[in-house]
Amino acid sequence: MSAKKNLKIALVGNPNSGKTTLFNLLTGLNQRTGNFPGVTVDKKSGTMKLPNGKQAELIDLPGTYSIYPKTLDEQIVQEVLLDKDHDQHPDTIIVVADASNLKRNLLLFTQIRDLNIPMVLVLNMMDVADRRQLNIDLRGLSIDLGVKIIPTNSHSGAGVEALKNILSQPLIHSKKPFYQVKSLAEKTIEDIKTEFNLDEDYRAYQYAQQNVRLKFLEETERQKIEEIKKENGFYDVPTQSQETLGRYALISDIVDRNIKNSSESGKPTLSQRIDRVTTHKVFGYLIFISLLMLIFQAIFAWAEGPMDIIEGALASFSNWVKGALPEGVINDLITDGIIAGLAGVLVFIPQIAILFGFISLLEESGYMSRAVFLMDRVMRNFGLNGKSVVPLVSGMACAIPAIMATRNIDSWKDRLITIFVTPFMSCSARLPVYTLLIALVVPDHYVLGIFNLKGLVLAALYLLGFFAAILSAWAMKFILKTKTRGYFIMELPGYKIPQWKNVGLTIFEKSKTFVVEAGKVIIAISILLWVLASYGFSDKFNNAGTYVKEQLPPNTTDAEYDIAINAYKLEHSIIGSFGKFIEPAIEPLGYDWKIGIALITSFAAREVFVGTMSTIYSIGADEEDELTIREKLSKEINPKTGLPMYTMAVGFSLMVFYAFAMQCMSTVAVVYRETKGWKWPIIQVVYMTAVAYLSALVTYQIFT
Amino acid sequence: MRNLTHLKIHEKGIIKGFTDETLSVKLMEMGCLPGTEVSLELIAPLGDPIAIEVAGYQLSLRKTEASSILLEEA
């Protein structure tokens, strides 16, 4: 930390006021996403250089319509502004308001202004205001509101330089509150001001209104406020009601005085005409489903090329390291533990980038809120919310970006349910497992002459995942209790042309967050799995060479010998012992210890199942193709029955297990990151494994 | 009592009051103030939620929420 502290500036404003675009303009790539301690709210901050040469730290506070929070995100705004000792408490505030919709935007402005923090008001989206033929008297408005005003157009960047100039000068603002809150509760305000040594009436009044919510107050302080309120007959909601009415009365006067509307009203705007199509009962759903299909296809298909490149590059890197470093434990740890883990992290970047590219486009354009509007009624039946649709469908490609996409669900309960059920959707990593098993046990048979039975089974597995997600969501609706009441009061912003810079920054930010935060967990698990698979305590593991030599016929080649040793070592490693240890538990599902080992290793990722099976069945790395594994598996004999091991019952049981089980460390890591703790990922793993186990058990019993 | 859900599409009404106090403060923050003119702009295909034009912008809300907004008798 430098001795001289940087100027701290906070951006505050309504959602859809162009606040984030302005933030991007001011900071460019000098921004980072962290989180506020103890809560699941992203903290976007960045640095900017002011014209006077000084550095300023800019923080983009979550969008809110008022200082009274409805969601966790909004509560942060209130905490940061009310708590003078908060480490993010700003020295200066930029309030961003949508100039084309000033009345509603000014409510938040007047509340913040009465906290007496130096501030400047930015009237953004001046272009939209011009198009609506609103003539704004900026001078008059500035005098009436008692604040400096900078008009901007964050689309073109106009006004941004002027804003920077203003910020490098000391801001003078009127000390006189905009709204005399004292008339509502004089005694309460006075008492709290004395008790907490506060200067501003409105700050004291907010202590009274929000005492239960303000985390920075001690329990005794909250109690004290409660007593003061009781003594003076202060009731939260009716007083807030009066305050809002009072503020709007003043705002209305000022807006009417300074803004003249010269357009003839009554003609539907372009946005309204677009809405007639996008929320139409036929075209609306058609457009929405087509967009979802496009996104799904893109994550599924477009990501494949870049993913192959990343995997290939890391594989060559791993080989190079293997050759460059002396053989031994360190070499194996780096290549099979760390680089393998790194590959498991980086390989998801294309999918994350594509999904967030689309989501950002949908949000920027204003379409997202229409999709939510269309889907809310349907999703509500299952304890979900209109905003859950995009994550759920994206989950069919990959749960990682999908879970990250739940960020824009305001209601914590709805968001948690969405995070919880998304991994049930059949993701692309299940496909290699499904195709191997389907090829193994499902006969080539046509149903009704046109439907291939193999295809039908695959479709059934996708449906199974979908229904598991929906039913779990429905059940959670009743189990989860929340203190906060959920609202669906949502602005439908006017349509806008998306800005590529914002889309690009979103993609960059989301990918970076995933790599940095989920990456740590993924690499740690990868190293753990490597240790478990590379070490063993028994004599058989340590002297694998001698044992294998005894078993093999004398004419085996070196390559065959190496493969056999790998299989033998895996069998007698710690993971191998685990596999044998859990055999009694998985026997009712039709599995043996070999499958047990694959179940454990494939916790890294589902597709690892295929790789592990080929190691166990001693299939060389070069021939690790599906056909060889399939041949080996189909020849496997169950020692107890003397019949083939991989019957239809075992195959189906395994498929069902993989349809439901979590079996993906990256998802666990991302749930940890998104819920800020281990509670939910652990519950989720236990629940999904239990569902998988029971369903596989039932499946096996039915088919045998 | 006439409430917001009784409006026909594109019909206008004037807000008179609210039936739910907690909800009313949220709605007022969003510009739904007594005396303000609102018009019903969109109804989602399944009948719920709806969107109204109020204070110069479009606001969507669920029917249960909309029914807490009372209107002046036409």
A103 touches chain B (CB under 8 A): yes
A479 touches chain B (CB under 8 A): no
Helix (H) or strand (E) holding A13: strand A7-13
Is residue A436 in some structural domain? no
Domains in chain A: how many in total? Answer: 3
Do A229 and A159 share a structural domain? no
Nearest by Cα to A125 from A136, A109, A141, A139: A136
**CB-neighbour burial class of residue B16 (10 A; exposed 0-12, middle 13-18, buried 19+):** middle
Distance from CA of B2 to the nearest CA of A (A): 20
> When comparing pLDDT for A202 and A449, which is higher?
A202
Do A153 and A214 share a structural domain? no
Is residue A480 in some structural domain? no
Distance from CA of B73 to the nearest CA of A (A): 22
Q: Which positions ≥6 away from A417 have C-beta within 8 Å?
A: A383, A384, A388, A473, A476, A477, A480
Tokens read off for B55: 């204070």
pLDDT > 50? residue A392:
yes
pLDDT digits (tens, 9 = 90+) for A550-589: 777 777 777 777 778 888 888 888 888 888 899 999 999 9
> When comparing pLDDT for B46 and A452, which is higher?
B46
Q: What is the Cα–Cα distance from B37 to B56, expressed in whole angstroms?
A: 10
Sign of CA dihedral A312, A316, A317, A321: positive
Do A78 and A39 share a structural domain? yes
Do A618 and A695 share a structural domain? yes
Helix (H) or strand (E) holding A192: helix A186-196
CB contact under 8 A, A488 and B56: no
A107 touches chain B (CB under 8 A): yes
Question: With a CB-CB cutoff of 8 Å, which residues 1-20 of chain B face chain A?
Answer: none
CB contact under 8 A, A493 and B31: no
Q: Which positions ≥6 away from A533 have C-beta within 8 Å?
A: A570, A573, A574, A575, A601
Work out the average pLDDT over A357-374: 90
Q: What is the Cα–Cα distance from B42 to A411, expressed in whole angstroms?
A: 23
CATH of the domain at A114: 3.40.50.300
Work out the average pLDDT over A218-225: 92
DSSP A644: B
Residue of chain B minimizing CA distance to A266: B10
> When comparing pLDDT for A535 and A517, which is higher?
A535
pLDDT digits (tens, 9 = 90+) for B16-71: 999 999 899 999 999 999 999 999 999 999 898 999 999 889 999 999 999 999 99
Tokens read off for A367: 């379409």
Residue A117 — pLDDT band, cuts 50, 70, 90? very high
Chain B partners of A241 at a C-beta cutoff of 8 Å? Answer: 21, 24-25, 28
Is residue A384 in some structural domain? no
Chain B partners of A374 at a C-beta cutoff of 8 Å? Answer: 44-45
Is residue A278 in some structural domain? no
DSSP states along A140-158: HHHHHHTSEEEE-BTTTTB
Chain B partners of A104 at a C-beta cutoff of 8 Å? Answer: 30-31, 55-57
Do A209 and A134 share a structural domain? no
Is residue A41 in some structural domain? yes
Q: What is the Cα–Cα distance from A441 to A437, expressed in whole angstroms?
A: 6
B23 touches chain A (CB under 8 A): yes
A284 touches chain B (CB under 8 A): yes
Interface test with A, best of B16, B18, B42, B61 (most A CBs within 10 A): B42
Residue type, A413: K
Which among B28, B31, B44 is the nearest to A279, CB-wise? B44
Q: What is the Cα–Cα distance from A605 to B34, expressed in whole angstroms?
A: 57
Which range of residues forms the domain containing residue A585?
A: 524-703
Chain A partners of B57 at a C-beta cutoff of 8 Å? Answer: 101, 104, 491-494
CB contact under 8 A, A101 and B25: no
Report pLDDT for A591.
92
Tell me the range of A234-248, A364-378, A591-605 where mean pLDDT is highest: A234-248
Work out the average pLDDT over A6-19: 92
> When comparing pLDDT for A494 and A558, which is higher?
A494
Which among A237, A369, A378 is the nearest to B25, CB-wise? A237
CB contact under 8 A, A101 and B56: yes
Do A547 and A618 share a structural domain? yes
Chain A partners of B40 at a C-beta cutoff of 8 Å? Answer: none
**CB-neighbour burial class of residue A219 (10 A; exposed 0-12, middle 13-18, buried 19+):** exposed
Do A534 and A650 share a structural domain? yes
Share of chain A above pLDDT 90, in %: 39
Paired residues of A59 in beta bridges: A10, A45
Q: Which positions ≥6 away from A654 have C-beta within 8 Å?
A: A433, A437, A590, A591, A595, A696
Pairing relation of β-strands A42-49 and A31-35?
antiparallel
Work out the average pLDDT over A669-697: 93
Do A669 and A593 share a structural domain? yes
A70 touches chain B (CB under 8 A): yes
CB contact under 8 A, B59 and A491: yes
B66 touches chain A (CB under 8 A): no
Q: What is the Cα–Cα distance from A116 to A41, expressed in whole angstroms?
A: 26
> When comparing pLDDT for A546 and A8, which is higher?
A8
CB contact under 8 A, B56 and A490: no
Do A223 and A124 share a structural domain? no
Is residue A121 in some structural domain? yes
CB contact under 8 A, B58 and A280: no
Residue of chain A minimizing CA distance to B47: A377
Full 3-state SS string of A203-262: HHHHHHHHCCCCCCCCHHHHHHHHHHHHHHCCCHHHHHHHHHHHHHHHHHHHHHHHEEEC
Q: What is the Cα–Cα distance from A318 to A332, expressed in whole angstroms?
A: 10
The CATH number of B4-71 is 2.30.30.90
Report pLDDT for A458.
84
A263 touches chain B (CB under 8 A): no
Chain A partners of B4 at a C-beta cutoff of 8 Å? Answer: none
Nearest by Cα to A424 from A49, A619, A225, A684: A684
Number of Cβ within a 10 Å radius of residue A169? 12
B70 touches chain A (CB under 8 A): no
Residue of chain B minimizing CA distance to A66: B29
Do A191 and A106 share a structural domain? no
A488 touches chain B (CB under 8 A): yes
> When comparing pLDDT for A623 and A101, which is higher?
A101
CB contact under 8 A, B60 and A245: no
Residue of chain B minimizing CA distance to A108: B29
Residue type, B44: A
Tokens read off for A327: 């053989």
Do A146 and A185 share a structural domain? no
Is residue A439 in some structural domain? no
* Interface A:B, Cβ pairs < 8 A: 103
CB contact under 8 A, A492 and B21: no
Share of chain A above pLDDT 70, in %: 96
ipTM for this model: 0.95
pLDDT digits (tens, 9 = 90+) for A407-432: 878 788 889 999 999 999 988 788 77
Report pLDDT for A256.
92
Is residue A394 in some structural domain? no
Residue A191 — pLDDT band, cuts 50, 70, 90? very high
Paired residues of A55 in beta bridges: A49
